[in-house]
Structure 1
Amino acid sequence: MTYKFEVMTQDQAEDISYNWHYEGEYSFYDMEADEEDLQEFVDPELRGDTKFAVMKNSELIGFFSVNKVDNLTYDIGLGMRPDLTNRGMGLDFLKAGLAFVKNVYNPRKITLSVATFNQRAIKVYRKLGFRDVNTFMQDTNASTFEFLKMEYER
């Protein structure tokens, strides 16, 4: 599978923000579920050049965000188009994303945070070498949720 990463356009940001809706408990990841997340996606100034559209065969299939923590560490966020989730594609998607981040930013460490209920994502992250760092509580989506901080070292 060949994935292409490109700086997200306004049209792509709006498509993800307003048209991507996940099933059941995963609706937690709908951009519209959290006003701050929504604004970060749809406002070009807030989005900057840290959000990337992931394309496959000229089709938008996901996104990656990459934020510098320090000179050696980058924090990532990611999402796949809802109709593509839970179909065994997560491992290849994440591998491609990690390769992109390593190639462009050359980090020593890559971190991410994931809601602890999202065991299917956590399983994929661990399979690719992410290790658990700690859990923390975060206010989001009009409530407080537990998250797991994970890290990957080269």
Structure 2
Amino acid sequence: MISSSVTFHVVPMEIKHAKDICEWIYKPPYNIYGWMPWEQMQALNIEFGDPLLRQEQYVSVINDQGILCGFAQLFPMEGVVRLGIGMRPDLCGHGLGHLFVGSIVEAALKRYPEREIDLEVLTWNQRAILTYRKCGFTITDTYERRTPTGDKPFYCMVYNK
């Protein structure tokens, strides 16, 4: 049984966390959110495989016991910080999303208090969309974006402080 009274903490992403995230396997259709193997990400020096990018933009989300529960990318743009969010697959769908996302939003507000916060989400991902709405995000735009499986429709959702 997963407790809904869990507290999430946002901390700098450690290499161990990055390696663990690369091993997560999501069930279809969420498997689009999986990562390539850690060694490949390091060799290509991309995303959290790039030490500087990992330090500047990526954070880990842990629980009170220090167990990795997910991660976020806080991607700075002109006047905006765009969130990229990933929860550990076995924690998804248990009603913890609003607490998880809330901890990430709080960290983004501390790091970038003057910037708007937004995120992108595939339009079919109603589970995530409901969570984001519960956390204060609203859909502001719809557009096509390239994914590993071709162009797909996305919503842009903006956080209302």
For Structure 1 versus Structure 2, the TM-score category normalised by the shorter chain is: 0.7 to 0.9
Amino acid at match of 2:104: G
2:25–2:34 contact (8 Å) kept in structure 1:
yes
What's the TM-score once normalised by structure 1's chain length? 0.88
Q: State the match for 1:124 in structure 2.
A: 131
Matched residue, 1:14: 19
What is the alpha-carbon distance in structure 1 between the residues aligned to residue 20 and residue 114 of structure 2? 30
Residue in structure 2 matching 1:54, options 61, 64, 78: 61
- Cα distance in 2 for partners of 1:122, 1:88 equals 13
* 2:88 matched residue in structure 1: 81
Unaligned runs of 5+ in 1: none
Q: Which amino acid aligns with 1:52?
A: V
Contact 1:20 1:81 in 2 (8 A): yes
For the residue of structure 1 that corresponds to 2:61, the secondary structure is strand
**Aligned pair count?**
151
Q: Does 1:95 align with 2:95?
A: no
CA deviation vs aligned residue, 1:53-107 (integer Å, no higher than 9, x gap): 111111000101112212x421111111000000110011111111121123214
Residues 8 and 51 in structure 1, CA contact (< 8 A), matched pair in contact too = yes
Q: Is the 8 A contact 1:7 1:50 kept in 2?
A: no
Q: Which runs of 4+ in 1 moved over 4 A?
A: none
Identity %: 33
Match of 1:32 among 33, 36, 43: 36
Query: Shift in Å at residue 112 of structure 1?
Result: 0.2
Alpha-carbon contact 1:108-1:153 (below 8 Å) kept? no
- 1:138 deviation in Å? 1.3
| Kept in 1: contact 2:117–2:159 (CA 8 A) | yes
Q: For 1:66, what is the secondary structure of its paired residue?
A: strand
